[in-house]
A and B are shown apart, each in its own frame.
Chain A
């Protein structure tokens, strides 16, 4: 039997991660997961309709955008990633597939990066559809620009938080969901809202700052709220999230490469 030649290291690593991403997206195409995705897509629109129905006056553009920000880049993205990114190792251990992935030369790295790609893709599609649906029922004028802005916020949110959840997922695979909720509460919401240096390392600060920047709100913010956003230009925030993603994913890959699972931890 002839052996196919290995591709170059970089293209092999990329192909492995893409192969795993395809693999993971196929796994997500189940009825319960699709139902959950459908709920994620419709939930912000339902909230928007309810608020619109209850409000005595039409919702202004700024209120609509603020609500949508809380509902989609924060809530929908976070919940979507908890379902798709957190079980990256636990699912493999449970299904008995971990050992078969881990005995491949780049298997562990490909598993993590591929699942990251799948989680970001899946959650972003759901979140962007949620934005479109919510804007459609909100009655906001000129929604196209808002869709583009929210699509960018969704991508920043999913990439940053998927990388953040990757770390507890490889350290405590079987309790990754609980640990990730803890990380989200402590890092993203508590530290993210502290007007101190520590919030510079959070995705939530970058998202709020990008929103304020792209909506042109910075000049009109009350002093108390101004403390919660960073006035740096958009490229600084995007670069900061990219650096955070790189650091977190590298740390997660290194931990996973060294992780040992005795037979008793599987199945």
Chain B
């Protein structure tokens, strides 16, 4: 489990007010954790873990290939399941948590995010969280309206 993003960060120079900080926990097990198993998690494993994380009220449950959307390749390993199947499986298991997808421009692309959004957000949950990697690609992420970590 990793601390993914900190919202409500005070402006530079202003005194730190702890009450303005909100820590959002991203559980990257079903995404970054895929590296440990050569991107071979199957649907029952994704479903069981997502249900458990949802019961634990984890804020964001990330899912996908270890390097994110569109990254299944000879170079870093092919996913057992296509992105759409991984996302649909986890989406169906979440009732409280938000689902998170990760995209590194150059590996994934804008269309991968559009497809992820097109699958719809989990029912009764907080929605879809999109993390786009890379300061150097700031323009690409702004164009997509995504977060830029």
A and B found bound together = no
Q: Which A residues are closer than 8 A to B by beta carbons?
A: none
Residues of B whose CB lies within 8 Å of any CB of A are: none
